[in-house]
Structure 1
């Protein structure tokens, strides 16, 4: 799977708040539970039950407390009692957002259950991940799982395994590497190295499973962490406090002890967007989903270690969006479709009567169905798509002569990561006018 366009960024903004009371109880004799996850845009989406209601949550190692995006007015359904109003701050150039703190919630992940769970409901309708991912996401969860359980993330087979620490047994693994974790405001960091312009530089990086990119670095001339001459300016993602922009480039290598990822993608976010994140002493950036997925991970916060082992994603080629288009899901629309069952029946009848001189009049029958709508949400300046005349707000009707509703958001995005020189044809609806565009994918450097 190629690296995808949308780079989600949710930072750890609740680290200074007190932990909730109570521990996870795993309701089986093995004290361990396996949970399958959806893998969307290099992000892990797990089923989480809150007060008896099953929701989809993003698993984010960079967030300290569970957050509900309450744009769907979930508080009534979940019987959430709003006890305290607070303000949260994250990445982006905007202001802090208001959230409502709630206690005494029951949280369940498979056989793992926790009573008296503290969580936060955010009512800002702009903080809705579903349009960016094309997949329903109701909230984010992180540290409350990791701080109490041993968490195995198997990216290659797409499951989590949660185990009580007293029941966990490590297997002998000669092909694994172990890193010591550092914690700042409950969030995990590792010390590793990057090679930039031939110079190997030690760096401290946040492990951020809530980001979809490969690697973020904060520019620092004195350390030699600088952007290569070859770069392009781009939209990097949405943070809690607004959109994030910066420069994209490549570095010589990212080193994780014996594991070396050469010519890795890197983003250098604008300093104004990450001023909050840079408050952590000596932090140099983040490792995110497109890098994390190349390994299977065992997080042990109790011992302060993480174990990694390369998997089938390790050799996957790094790529960039060569169109400049960032898409978003924009609701549903009614689409008129041919009824396949009727047409198949006519086809069989035609074959049976081909020698009987029987004249068949096909009365095409249709049905109406709700299908997803995709819209251009961001468009990189000087990109081939922009030069072709596409605009933010254009609704995508077809991609390479195939109706857009036949694709998932991720599948369309994958089309924009294909080889340089490939032609892309888009039909769009612009304020009721149907327009056709054609452009070629181009190396953004």
Structure 2
């Protein structure tokens, strides 16, 4: 008996050591389906940022930029969901999130109107880390990829494929016995469940094949406001899982991200919030485990 107890005592520290310690843990709030954290830009703290895997660069609102007196160092084209516009940029900034720091950060300055946040935390700040999104504890945990060894046996693994620097997964819409498969972007910065890009919808005749259940009015980062039909997809296959009676916004955009030819559409955080997630940008995998939000209303 003494020998058995000794073995247990020896093994227990090994089990504890198998859990990787995060570089930093950041609490978040969930509002209108989206994840928000607080960051510091230069010397100004407590700026509210949306955690947005659909943005390949980080953003500060023009209002916040004016308040911080950020210098304008150039311009760029911003691609919104329904159009594009020319916006300013500010280089050489320092962004602090938790105990981590991004130096010489480039911020795109967008005149957000009607949005209740100061900035966008894009994938330029996420890459180089493994990030756990825990909706039970409402935490983001950032890890070094090389030392990450947490047990993901209870998670489903999805291969991430980047299309124009945008993380996508292959998904299938099933309707009337037919399958329509494409690469759908993963956009934690979008409030809705699913948007079908206009070219993909037209190609497969989805506006006629899916029953319409309503309309949605949206505002893109380019400032445009637009109305889209909302239809009911009888079945969606995401990875190896099936979901039924999923509301899908059918875009009719002729420009912007929703008019893209290279993606079939976008999963928003109205869907993604239903899973605790591990984003491994180093190995290009996404791990998902159902959480308490799984059966909340779509």
TM-score for the superposition, normalised by structure 1: 0.58
Structure 1 residues 179 and 151: CA distance shift in structure 2, 3 A: same
Q: Deviations over 1:35-60 (max 9, x none)?
A: 11111100111101101212000111
SS in 1 for 2:264: strand
1:37 to 28, 33, 46: 28
Structure 1 residues 108 and 275: CA distance shift in structure 2, 3 A: closer
Aligned pair 1:68/2:48, yes or no? no
Aligned pair 1:208/2:190, yes or no? no
Is the 8 Å Cα contact of residues 175 and 210 (structure 2) preserved in structure 1? Answer: no
Is the 8 Å Cα contact of residues 183 and 189 (structure 1) preserved in structure 2? Answer: yes
SS in 1 for 2:201: coil
Distance 1:196 1:143 in 2: 33
Is the 8 Å Cα contact of residues 249 and 266 (structure 1) preserved in structure 2? Answer: yes
1:117 to 105, 119, 134: 105
Counterpart residue number, 1:128: 113
Q: Deviations over 1:243-299 (max 9, x none)?
A: 122111111122223432211111101132x55444452x11010011001111111
Aligned pair 1:305/2:297, yes or no? no
Aligned pair 1:151/2:139, yes or no? no
Which has the larger Rg? 1
Counterpart residue number, 1:47: 38
Is the 8 Å Cα contact of residues 185 and 265 (structure 2) preserved in structure 1? Answer: yes
SS in 1 for 2:271: helix
Correspondences of 1:235-246 after superposition (within 5 Å): 235-241=216-222, 242-246=224-228
Q: Which runs of 5+ in 2 are unaligned?
A: 1-19
Correspondences of 1:221-260 after superposition (within 5 Å): 222-223=203-204, 225-228=206-209, 230-232=211-213, 234-241=215-222, 242-260=224-242
Deviation at 1:228, TM superposition (A): 4.2
Is the 8 Å Cα contact of residues 64 and 141 (structure 1) preserved in structure 2? Answer: no
With a CA cutoff of 8 Å and minimum separation of 6, indicate the structure with the bigger relative contact order: 2
Q: Deviations over 1:184-214 (max 9, x none)?
A: 2321011122212332322210001111111
Residues matched between the structures, number: 275
Distance 1:236 1:148 in 2: 36
SS in 2 for 1:166: helix
Deviation at 1:88, TM superposition (A): 2.1
Counterpart residue number, 2:13: none
Structure 1 residues 275 and 67: CA distance shift in structure 2, 3 A: closer
Structure 1 residues 292 and 178: CA distance shift in structure 2, 3 A: same
Distance 2:208 2:215 in 1: 14
Is the 8 Å Cα contact of residues 104 and 117 (structure 1) preserved in structure 2? Answer: yes
Is the 8 Å Cα contact of residues 169 and 239 (structure 2) preserved in structure 1? Answer: no
What CA RMSD, in Å, does the superposition of the two structures yield over aligned residues? Answer: 2.2
Deviation at 1:30, TM superposition (A): 4.5
Q: Deviations over 1:113-143 (max 9, x none)?
A: 1111111223x3xx2343xxxxx41011211
SS in 2 for 1:96: strand
TM-score for the superposition, normalised by structure 2: 0.84
Distance 2:205 2:219 in 1: 27
Q: Which runs of 5+ in 1 are unaligned?
A: 1-28, 131-135, 319-445
Is the 8 Å Cα contact of residues 279 and 287 (structure 2) preserved in structure 1? Answer: yes
Is the 8 Å Cα contact of residues 251 and 265 (structure 1) preserved in structure 2? Answer: yes
Counterpart residue number, 2:8: none
Distance 2:208 2:147 in 1: 46
